[in-house]
Amino acid sequence: MQRQELLYTRDILSRLSQDDTEPLAVQLDDCAQSLDTILVKVSVDWVLQLMEGPQDERSLIKDALQRSREIIRSARIAVRQAEGAEEEKLSPEAEKMLEMIPHNASENLKQLILGMMKSGRSSSEVLNASLDCLAELFRKSKIKITVERHQR
């Protein structure tokens, strides 16, 4: 899950660079693989043997779990810091669309597109421009997008 959040912040929100995320993504993959190796062995008998066995085996598992928690924590911190980073300026079209969206209320996409059509461009151009603006506003954490199935 942390790997997906990290990649989402990098690829969708464009808030982290490849250089920032790649080491963390590799470490998260390594931890997942290490934990998967441990999980394959887990059974009641394995736990009993582990408890009766030498401390070294328990320490290896404890260390793997602690390392995983630390890397997950690092990924969460990176995502949180990236999301709180200073925002870039909006394009003029995105700024105009943002002004059309009421505070603390939802707006229908059709209404936004109709409002954008006042610019005199063709309907399909306005649709594409509106979707681009929505993507920009979403990436810059200016709007929340909810999608629901149209009821006929």
The 10s digit of each residue's pLDDT in 11-21 is 877 788 888 88
Give the pLDDT mean for 97-112: 86
The 10s digit of each residue's pLDDT in 59-78 is 888 898 899 899 889 888 88
Query: Please, what is the average pLDDT of the chain?
Result: 86
Say if residues 133 and 115 touch (Cβ distance below 8 Å): no
Task: State the pLDDT at residue 107.
Answer: 85
Q: Which helix (H) or strand (E) holds 135?
A: helix 123-139
Three-point CA angle 32, 78, 72, nearest 5°: 25
Nearest CA among 132, 72, 122, 66 for reference residue 97: 132
